[in-house]
Amino acid sequence: MKQKKYYSQALYFMKAILVIIVIGVTFFIITQFSDKIAQEISIKLRKNMVIIEYVVNGIFGLIALASIALILLRGKPAVTLSHTTLRTNRFKKDFAQLKSYHPGKGGSEPYVISHEGKQYDLELSWFSKKDQKEIEAFIKERVATI
């Protein structure tokens, strides 16, 4: 078997966009809240405490930007299968290194366990049902034969 790649559906792209929108809305709400806090503190202390608003906005802005960067850099889930290797965005393992395959149950993701006892999640829920079945069948076959 040559190398075969499987890519996630468009739903993953939609999820990333929605998460970015939620982060933006959350940042907007936090900036409004920090403005109110700065005004209240300024009134009570009779001093201009706008710096508090800038600091809070800056901290949450950096957190929001880091979150968005993480989402965008993480990439869409992909699985690449060859006769000897299983590769995802998170790991690359030879089938000889894998001890067992465990299918997903009740909404959980399927995973494989290496001979060292480490668990590797496959994140197959982002793939079409047809691709999920092909990937699972191939992994079952390769892990069972080695």
Q: Which stretches in the chain have pLDDT values below 70? A: 1, 144-146
pLDDT value at position 146? 52
Nearest one of 32, 21, 10, 24 to 128, comparing CA atoms: 10
Per-residue pLDDT at 18 = 87
Please list, residue by residue across 5-15, b when 16 or more beta carbons sit within 10 angstroms of its beta carbon and e when fewer do: ebebeeebeee
Q: How much is the pLDDT for 126?
A: 82
Burial of 124 (0-12, 13-18, 19+ CB in 10 A): buried
Q: Strand pairing partners for 113?
A: 100, 119
